[in-house]
Amino acid sequence: KVYLFNVKDSCRVQSSGLKGTVPSQAPPIIFAVPTKVVSETGSVAHYMGINKVPELQMIFQKTDGAPVHLKRGVMDKMLYRTMMGLTIGGTLYCLMALYIVAQPRKPQ
Amino acid sequence: MAHQAHAYHMVDPSPWPLTGAIAALLMTSGLAIWFHFHSTMLMTLGLVLTLLTMYQWWRDIIREGTFQGHHTPPVQKGLRYGMILFITSEVFFFLGFFWAFYHSSLAPTPELGGCWPPTGIIPLDPFEVPLLNTAVLLASGVTVTWAHHSIMEGERKQTIQSLALTILLGFYFTALQAMEYYEAPFTIADGVYGSTFFVATGFHGLHVIIGSTFLAVCLLRQIQYHFTSEHHFGFEAAAWYWHFVDVVWLFLYVSIYWWGS
């Protein structure tokens, strides 16, 4: 076997890890609630947030007949109405602007 | 509600193709109005509508696939073909700019001094920042592959870390290129050298930004548990696009930066 350093020597060196500083037995828990062991949290550890996909799947599969772009209710409706407002308003503005600039300039 | 007797996806009626088309109309007319009448209102409105359309259209695709389960294997196959065809069209887009570059550089006209680089042009040293950029993009290709393998093996933390690293490398590339652009001894107006250089590398840079954004969206989706180890096409599409961007850079580097100096 090949080691990166002499195993015997590492016992004497502080920088070889936690060997000298961490007690071999966990200290008795006095105040805190015992931290949950990972195996007790369920099969998936919660790194950066919990899984909300099943909940969202329930929302989006509701048989309320709403199309997918309106499925989430009020927020979707507001955004849609804003968009259509801007779209229609923008179209009219654009057509007007093009009509105006298409007029021949007055002779000087 | 009637259940479909087939595996394909009959999409709900959607307003986004219309808003997207109107947005394109407003952007292009707005561009003309800006050029001739100095008003940016129409163009800005077009840009806002384009961004909102993209956000909502792709949000709806995520809803249809991840939350409603419409992306069955045949549907996914269609999405794969679609992405491949799109990337192919982008390859042809860049081919045009490479054609322009080689047209001008293989037979430099007397007006340029009969040589390439043309007389008076000080090209960038290909073994300085451009070489670093090459290393950065190649490294990002490695990290995105690492991310893919992590997804397939169900390693959530590693996926998030490697994907984040890929995006950071993409930003690093963009920052380095921006600095190069600022410090370059020639401009886009410096004859055909300037035009071919900045148009080709400029469009490439835009694609790096698009690719980084796509990967960032994938990172957000990965954090929100959208991807499974078997089904993560959104990520694969982003990774394909990223590899495409990387390959285009390699061609740019060898042709314009190295051979062209």
Q: Provide, as residue numbers in chain B, all residues whose Cβ is less than 8 Å from the Cβ of A90.
A: 22, 26, 42, 45-46, 49
Q: Say if the Cβ atoms of A91 and B224 lie within 8 Å.
A: no
Among B42, B70, B98, the domain boundary falls at B70
Give the residue from B167, B202, B191, B174 showing the smallest Cα distance to B94.
B202
Q: Which pLDDT belongs to residue A11?
A: 46
One domain for residues B60 and B172: no
Q: What is residue A74's three-state secondary structure?
A: helix
Instruction: Provide the domain limits for residue B14.
Output: 1-70
> For residue range B130-166, what is the model confidence (pLDDT) as tens digits?
999 999 999 999 999 999 999 999 999 999 999 999 9
Q: Kindly indicate the confidence band of residue A34, based on its pLDDT and cuts at 50, 70 and 90.
A: low
pLDDT at A9 over 50: no
* Whether pLDDT at A35 is above 50: yes
Best residue of B1, B12, B58 to probe chain A, by most A CBs closer than 10 Å = B12
Task: Check residue A47 and give its pLDDT.
Answer: 78
Residues B222, B166: one domain? Answer: yes
B56 plus B90 within the same structural domain? no
Indicate yes or no: CB of A53 within 8 angstroms of CB of B56. Answer: no
CATH number of the domain at B230, please.
1.20.120.80
Q: Which residues of B touch A45 (CB under 8 A)?
A: 156
**Mutate which of A68, A81, A99 to test chain B, going by most B C-beta atoms within 10 A?**
A68
Q: How far is CA A10 from CA A2, A16, A30, A59, B73, in A?
A: 15, 6, 34, 58, 55
pLDDT digits (tens, 9 = 90+) for A43-95: 555 778 899 999 999 999 998 889 999 999 999 999 999 999 999 999 999 99
The tally of domains found in chain B comes to: 2
Tens of pLDDT, residues B33-53: 999 998 999 999 999 999 999
Q: Which of B30, B55, B70 is the last residue of a domain?
A: B70
What integer is the mean pLDDT of B182-207? 97
